[in-house]
Structure 1
């Protein structure tokens, strides 16, 4: 199964956090704060943090801006992944993705099933890659953010994690754009 290879050095990633909400402010953003705290505890760097309303174009524009920023390796959003009319985060993410990480949503669902049973079907958590940057959309609850970080992201964003991890393939994410 998975393990940490202690012979390898930890490599900190630079992570931006986006909370999607029509009603929260920074001081009320419990889900975003869960992510910020876990990012720091794991030894990564918080590169930026914002709150935006549930507006597809605004969300996609912010994701594109972070993808274009060479100081950001990973973007994690929280909120707007449900089924209501205002939940447009997944669509905004897919507007930006070059490749979707299909298994991320599947693994998140498996993790969620263990915590909240069949209510997990109401989440549309997703992950993808664009411009050499990883992007993940998580539900807007603190519990979902804890589950996604503790069970998936903390491992996949650790270079020492074996048998494989997201960090070790950073240099190859944009190889299709390089001149041959």
Structure 2
């Protein structure tokens, strides 16, 4: 194990759904439970309908909030007409983390085989904040958290992780 101390991230969870409520948001609950068990802080939580402009606006709001380091959304990553989370995320991203989608697909293939091709999970960075869009199933949220995010959001993870470069994510915005 690393000599480094754990540094908790402040994570906001967004459920994108026309039908979910706080009472039945299993995917959001899965993420909240897992991030808490890992030692991170739930910075905010919301449920929004499948509306591209509304989702992008909330992502921008959270990116502008210095009390939020990471945003994880669940839902709206599929192929149907109402699935707009990926487009909303990409409206906000300054840089996309292409390998996140690839890693998620590899993890998903181990669980659901070729059905993994139907997911459009993605990740990116905006305003010094990490953003990840996950499918709306609790199992997909577990897979993304347990196999990728729990490690990359842990400062002790070697050889590298998202947390150690967090202070440099917005360096291009600083005055020279």
- TM-score category by the smaller chain? over 0.9
Residue-pair matches, total: 176
The residue number in structure 2 matching 1:17 is: 13
- Correspondence for 2:144 among 144, 148, 152: 148
In 2, Cα distance between equivalents of 1:27 and 1:134: 27
TM-score of the aligned structures, taking structure 1 as reference length: 0.97
In 1, Cα distance between equivalents of 2:19 and 2:167: 38
Aligned ranges 1:37-116 → 2 under 5 Å: 37-116=33-112
TM-score of the aligned structures, taking structure 2 as reference length: 0.99
Q: Cα distance, 1:178 vs. partner? A: 0.7
In 2, Cα distance between equivalents of 1:169 and 1:102: 17
- Correspondence for 2:171 among 149, 153, 175: 175
Q: Is 1:119 aligned to 2:111, yes or no?
A: no
Q: Which consecutive segments of 4 or more residues in structure 1 shift more than 3 A?
A: none
Equivalent position SS for 1:159: coil
In 2, Cα distance between equivalents of 1:176 and 1:72: 19
Q: Cα distance, 1:93 vs. partner? A: 0.1
In 2, Cα distance between equivalents of 1:105 and 1:26: 27
In 2, Cα distance between equivalents of 1:77 and 1:51: 9
In 2, Cα distance between equivalents of 1:19 and 1:177: 29
In 2, Cα distance between equivalents of 1:138 and 1:13: 18
Q: Is 1:34 aligned to 2:25, yes or no?
A: no
Gaps of 5+ in 2: none
Equivalent position SS for 2:146: helix
Equivalent position SS for 2:53: helix
The two structures, once aligned, show a CA RMSD in angstroms of: 0.4
The residue number in structure 2 matching 1:136 is: 132
